[in-house]
């Protein structure tokens, strides 16, 4: 699908927790190649959001997850002048690690388990930091 699609493309991702760390990936392909973010990708036709998140996390990192709930929804919109370069509506879930050794695969250049108080060196976008904060709140609520 062209990034210059006339309508938003549905993206999915997850804040995946293992003990007190969360899983980050360094993007290996555009958009945002070389930047750190949450693992995820595109939802395929006929696939539920949950199935898409589970598949994308497995393909990108080799990790199996259990979905806990919704973290939040963000729009990633890039323009060049008046031209729309891309518009992704990304649905981010909260998940717990179940199995697998995290390793960079498919679209990821690198992976890291990071504690929330050690995120600064990863230069995450404001939107990703906001989703992580929402996921922390949801995780605490689910544990209570």
* DSSP labels, 84-131: EEEEEEEEEEEEEEEE------TTEEEEEEE-GGG-GGG---HHHHHH
Residue 1's pLDDT is what? 38
> For residue 96, is pLDDT > 70?
yes
The C-alpha atoms of residue 97 and residue 81 are separated, in whole angstroms, by 41
Domains of the chain: 9-143 (3.90.79.10)
State pLDDT tens for residues 7-33: 899 999 999 999 999 999 999 988 788
Q: How many Å apart are CA 65 and CA 47, to the nearest integer?
A: 17
Q: List Cβ neighbours of 81 (8 Å cut-off, separation of 6 or more).
A: none
Averaged confidence pLDDT in the chain: 92
pLDDT value of residue 4: 62
Q: Across residues 101-115, what is the average pLDDT?
A: 94
Residues 6+ apart with CB under 8 A from 29: 107
Amino acid 132: pLDDT: 97
Structure token digits, residue 122: 């990863």
2 has a pLDDT exceeding 50: no
Q: Is the pLDDT of residue 144 over 60?
A: yes
Whether the full predicted model's pTM is greater than 0.85, yes or no, is yes
Counting residues of the chain whose pLDDT is more than 90, the rounded percentage is 77
Q: How far is CA 104 from CA 10, 26, 97, 113, 128, in A?
A: 23, 8, 16, 12, 19
pLDDT at position 94, please? Answer: 97
Angle at 88 between CA 135 and CA 6, to 5 degrees: 160
Query: pLDDT digits over 51-95, tens only?
Result: 999 999 999 999 999 999 999 999 989 899 998 988 999 999 999
The residue-averaged pLDDT of 34-50 equals 96
């Amino acid at each position: 699908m062209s990034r210059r699609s006339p309508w938003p493309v549905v993206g999915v991702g997850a804040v995946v927790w293992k003990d007190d760390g969360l899983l980050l990936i360094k993007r290996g392909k555009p958009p945002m190649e070389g930047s750190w973010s949450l693992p995820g990708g595109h939802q395929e036709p006929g696939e539920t959001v949950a199935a898409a998140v589970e598949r994308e996390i497995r393909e990108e990192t080799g990790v199996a997850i259990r979905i806990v709930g919704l973290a939040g929804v963000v729009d990633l919109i890039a323009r060049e002048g008046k031209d729309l370069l891309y518009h992704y509506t990304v649905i981010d879930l909260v998940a717990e690690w179940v199995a697998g050794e995290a390793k960079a695969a498919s679209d990821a250049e690198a992976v890291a388990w990071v504690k929330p108080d050690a995120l600064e060196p990863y230069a995450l976008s404001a939107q990703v930091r906001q989703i992580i904060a929402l996921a922390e709140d949801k995780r605490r609520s689910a544990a209570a």
